[in-house]
């Protein structure tokens, strides 16, 4: 097996890439925005638009180079409710919708403690348990039709293979649904009688079966093409390093969310009030983690005016002591109660603004790494791996080497 089609659905953009495993490069890439629809009972993802994009992309990519396998990775904090016929019982909720907060007190009365799940209490639908609880209470007739609950990556694997599954990296990312110490569903799942609805748990690397015949006929890959179970996107960044590096080390997965994960780090007590949590890696092991919405924050800071910075911009920012203080996206991250401000003044020059914003993101990341006891080198994956100002400040702030992983970018 050499050419694998990777379906990567992030919070902001979706991508289908043909990955050449021999040379570890993307041989072909197609992208589109991940659109949130505003019709229906609440904001929800355009899953049919994404499905058409996936099928079209597989068709085009397979025409260029035969696809030998298909794997899926998606953002977390998303579950899909399916009825007996495999249709959506309810639209797939956008986790930034505030609806679940309307039942916050009721949900807090039934959710498990942090010690059981490693999930901090998060706003909106960032705790998947809060999403499902709100849907169950607010739309009881529709929820009553639910026959299966699957996490987002496995929803797409199911549409491709016809096999229902769940998987621990998605179940274990601040959902309240999984207990890492028990390696099983949390007490919330049993308390609310959801266990019978949860699809069987499989490994991320499990072959769920061949591509459905009708999908193979439409897109071109062979009917025997295997579809793998799928994985949470941040854990997809971590997985190869688990096999190739000796602890301690940390991986920083960057995108809409910047997720820092410590492997073999120092013993620390995680503070759920600062958006630290326990993720679960693809082997089922707990991983101390911390996160903030760094990619979204960078877009907000720059307002579409990102520019290359030069030495003059760098010298000006450092000489004037220009800093952006947290938090651009309040309500999450290590400083959830703070609101951002520039000191001594916001730079008007776009290059200086880009340079100062890169420093801000690096200092936020360094704080996250400190909170989770990170030690050893820091591997940065995703868009920030190409930002030299970010990497330089991260080295200065942590005192540890930074490896920019271009293969993960």
pLDDT digit string, tens, across residues 197-236: 999 999 999 999 999 999 999 999 999 999 999 999 989 9
Per-residue tokens: 40: 């229906």
Res 154: pLDDT: 98
The CATH number given to 245-404 is 3.30.420.40
Q: Which residues contact 148 (CB under 8 A, 6 or more apart)?
A: 81, 82, 164, 197, 198, 199
Portions of the chain given CATH number 3.30.420.40: 3-232, 245-404
* Residue 389 φ/ψ, nearest 5 degrees: -65, -40
Q: Say whether pLDDT at 406 is over 70.
A: no
pLDDT in tens, 51-82: 999 999 999 999 999 999 999 999 999 999 99
Which residue from 151, 131, 129, 147 is spatially nearest to 139, judged by alpha carbons? Answer: 131
Q: What average pLDDT does this structure show over 230-259?
A: 94
Neighbours of 392 (CB within 10 A): 15
- pLDDT above 50 (res 45): yes
* DSSP designation for 333: S
**According to the model, what pLDDT value does residue 405 have?**
82
Q: pLDDT band for 242, please (50, 70, 90 cuts).
A: very high
State the pLDDT confidence band at 409, using cuts at 50, 70 and 90.
very low
Phi then psi for 292, rounded to 5 degrees?
-150, 165
Model confidence over 137-188: pLDDT tens digits?
Answer: 999 999 999 999 999 999 999 999 999 999 999 999 999 999 999 999 999 9
Q: DSSP strand E in 271-326: where?
A: 276-280, 286-292, 323-325
Band of pLDDT at residue 408, cut at 50, 70 and 90? very low
Alpha-helical (H) ranges within 11-103 are: 47-64
Show Cβ contacts of residue 322 under 8 Å, excluding neighbours closer than 6 positions. 316, 342, 343, 344, 345, 347, 352, 356
Helix (H) or strand (E) holding 30: strand 25-33
- Mean of pLDDT over the chain: 95
Question: pLDDT value at position 407?
Answer: 53
Question: What average pLDDT does this structure show over 98-102?
Answer: 98
Cα separation of the two ends of the chain: 23
Q: Hey, what CATH topology would domain 3-232 get? A: Nucleotidyltransferase; domain 5 (3.30.420)
CA 5 and chain centroid, separation: 19
Q: 340: closest CA among 305, 293, 383, 372? A: 293
Backbone torsions φ then ψ of 53, nearest 5 degrees: -60, -45
The strand order across the sheet containing 286-292 reads 276-280, 286-292, 258-263, 249-253, 378-381, 402-404
Return the closest-CA partner of residue 275 out of 236, 326, 241, 323.
Answer: 326
Q: What is the pTM for the complete model shown?
A: 0.90
């Amino acid at each position: 097996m050499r050419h694998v089609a990777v379906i990567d659905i992030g919070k902001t953009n979706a991508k289908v890439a043909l990955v050449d495993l021999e040379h570890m490069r993307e041989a072909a890439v197609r992208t589109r925005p991940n659109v949130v629809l505003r019709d229906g009972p609440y904001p929800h993802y355009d899953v049919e638009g994404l499905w058409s994009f996936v099928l079209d992309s597989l068709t085009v990519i397979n025409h260029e180079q035969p696809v030998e396998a298909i794997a899926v990775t998606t953002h977390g904090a998303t579950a899909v409710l399916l009825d007996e016929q495999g249709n959506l019982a309810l639209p797939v909720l956008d986790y930034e919708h505030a609806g679940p907060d309307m039942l916050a007190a009721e949900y807090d009365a039934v959710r498990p403690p942090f010690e059981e799940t490693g999930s901090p209490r998060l706003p909106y639908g960032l705790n998947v348990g809060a999403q499902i609880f709100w849907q169950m209470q607010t739309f009881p007739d529709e929820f009553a039709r639910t026959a299966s609950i699957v996490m987002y990556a496995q929803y797409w694997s199911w549409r491709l293979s016809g096999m229902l599954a769940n998987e621990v990296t998605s179940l274990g990312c601040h959902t309240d649904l999984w207990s890492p110490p028990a390696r099983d569903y949390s007490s919330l799942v049993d308390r609310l009688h959801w266990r019978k609805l949860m699809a069987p748990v499989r490994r991320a690397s499990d072959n769920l079966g061949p591509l459905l015949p009708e999908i193979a006929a439409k897109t071109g890959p062979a009917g025997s093409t295997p579809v793998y179970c799928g994985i949470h996107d941040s854990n997809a960044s971590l997985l190869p390093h688990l096999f190739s590096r000796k602890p301690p080390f940390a991986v920083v997965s960057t995108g809409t969310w910047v997720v820092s994960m410590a492997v073999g780090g120092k013993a620390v007590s995680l503070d759920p009030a600062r958006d630290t949590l326990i993720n679960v890696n693809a082997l089922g092991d707990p991983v101390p983690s911390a996160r903030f919405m760094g990619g979204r924050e960078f877009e907000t800071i720059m307002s579409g005016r990102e520019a290359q910075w030069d030495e003059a911009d760098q010298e000006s920012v450092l000489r004037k002591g220009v800093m952006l203080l947290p938090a651009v996206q309040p309500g999450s991250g290590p400083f959830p109660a703070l609101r951002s401000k520039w000191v001594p003044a916001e730079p008007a020059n776009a290059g200086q603004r880009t340079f100062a914003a890169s420093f801000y993101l690096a200092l936020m990341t360094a704080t996250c790494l400190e909170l989770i006891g990170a030690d050893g080198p820091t591997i940065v994956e995703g868009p920030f791996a190409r930002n030299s100002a970010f990497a330089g400040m991260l080295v200065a702030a942590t005192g540890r080497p930074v490896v920019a992983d271009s293969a993960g970018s």
